[in-house]
Amino acid sequence: MTPDIAPIPHLDLPHPEPGDLKLTQVLFAFSDPERLAIVRQLASGPLDMAQCHLSDASTPKSTKSHLMKVLREAGIIRNEASGRGRRLTLRRQDLDARFPGLLACVLADTPDGAP
Amino acid sequence: MTPDIAPIPHLDLPHPEPGDLKLTQVLFAFSDPERLAIVRQLASGPLDMAQCHLSDASTPKSTKSHLMKVLREAGIIRNEASGRGRRLTLRRQDLDARFPGLLACVLADTPDGAP
DNA sequence: AGAAAAGTTCGAAAAATCTCGAACTGTCGG
DNA sequence: CCGACAGTTCGAGATTTTTCGAACTTTTCT
């Protein structure tokens, strides 16, 4: 017999509404070097997850997925299905609208201790 | 007999140099609502620690001290002995010099979800 | 001097995060 | 259809933060 409940595809993950972003949550998400590096990569434009590299290439997928989850739940990135993979997009407008200047000055800082 | 080692006064705590502030560490320190509230109070000017209130007035001193420690070690506030207490100062210039605009947009956000 | 006020530090317990493997769901190529 | 890809989710263990009391130091008041 046909199952009475849908398989619940686990694609299209939840994203917070633009107005619901919380400053402390966003700051926390930015406060990790690995996540900040991801944000910097996305600053140049959307990227397929597979093209988005971590500092350590041998990091398990589940860990990478978790980093993305923190960024997504904070409202910093959008994560949507795209073909067999996922497309990551920086939510620049939503961030700028809610916290003007924040993204700019976070991106402005030099990744390491450069001159 | 006189002790041969000095008592090592535990006043004048260590503060990072202006140039040594780390973005991720600063963001992390800002990412807690209680610490952010402290920063907002200090935005109006230096305050004696005793006049700097937490959301819950019954919080133990040691907890309050720890919150200040995180802010101090990130380079966000200065904590110096003053009389029998401690004077807290927002390191506005050092922050602005190292991360232009960051403090401004963090302070600009409304504490709660205000209109 | 003695006691109270104001904080810091230390250590331990509690809570939140992170990491990673295993299992699972979809998509694409043969 | 079947197997390789690409990622998410779950749970357990490891690591990091937070919380709080107790002990201690310095300053001020009487």
Q: Which domain holds residue A72?
A: 20-108
Domain-located, residue A2: no
Q: Dump pLDDT digits (tens) for B7-46.
A: 444 589 999 999 999 999 999 999 999 999 999 999 999 9
Amino acid A110: pLDDT: 79
Number of structural domains, chain B?
1
Mean pLDDT taken over chain A = 91
User: Are A75 and A16 a contacting pair, CB within 8 Å?
Assistant: yes
Q: Tokens 């006043």 identify what position?
A: B11
Q: E strands within chain A? A: 47-48, 77-82, 85-90
Domain-located, residue A44: yes
Q: Return the DSSP state at A18.
A: G
Domain-located, residue B12: no
pLDDT tier, A11 (very low <50, low <70, confident <90, very high otherwise): confident
Residue in A with minimal Cα distance to B112: A22
Mean pLDDT taken over chain B = 91
CA atoms within 13 A on the CB side of A6: 3
Domain-located, residue B14: no
Amino acid A115: pLDDT: 52
Q: Dump pLDDT digits (tens) for B70-86.
A: 999 999 999 999 999 99
Residues forming beta bridges with residue B88, ordered by sequence position: B47, B79
Amino acid B112: pLDDT: 54
Domain-located, residue A5: no
Query: Which residue among B23, B27, B105 sits closest to A99, beta carbon to beta carbon?
Result: B105
List % helix, strand, coil for chain B (3-state, nearest 5).
45, 10, 45
Count the Cβ atoms, other than its own, within 10 Å of residue B106: 26
Contact state of B102 with A104 under an 8 Å Cβ cutoff? no
Q: E strands within chain B? A: 47-48, 77-82, 85-90
Euclidean distance between CA atoms A113 and A104, whole angstroms: 18
Residue A71's contacts (CB-CB under 8 Å, 6 or more residues apart) are: A29, A35, A38, A39, A77
Chain B 86-105 contacts with nucleic strand D (CB below 7 A): none
Asked whether residue B2 carries a pLDDT value surpassing 50, the answer given is no
- A31 contacts in B (CB within 8 Å)? 24-25, 27-28, 31
Domain-located, residue A36: yes
Domain-located, residue B113: no
For the domain that residue A82 is a member of, what is the CATH number? 1.10.10.10
Euclidean distance between CA atoms B88 and B39, whole angstroms: 10
Query: Which residue among B32, B36, B109 sits closest to A99, beta carbon to beta carbon?
Result: B109
- Give the 3-state DSSP-derived string for A57-87, with helices as H, strands as E and coil as C: CCCCHHHHHHHHHHHHHHCCEEEEEECCEEE
Domain-located, residue B5: no
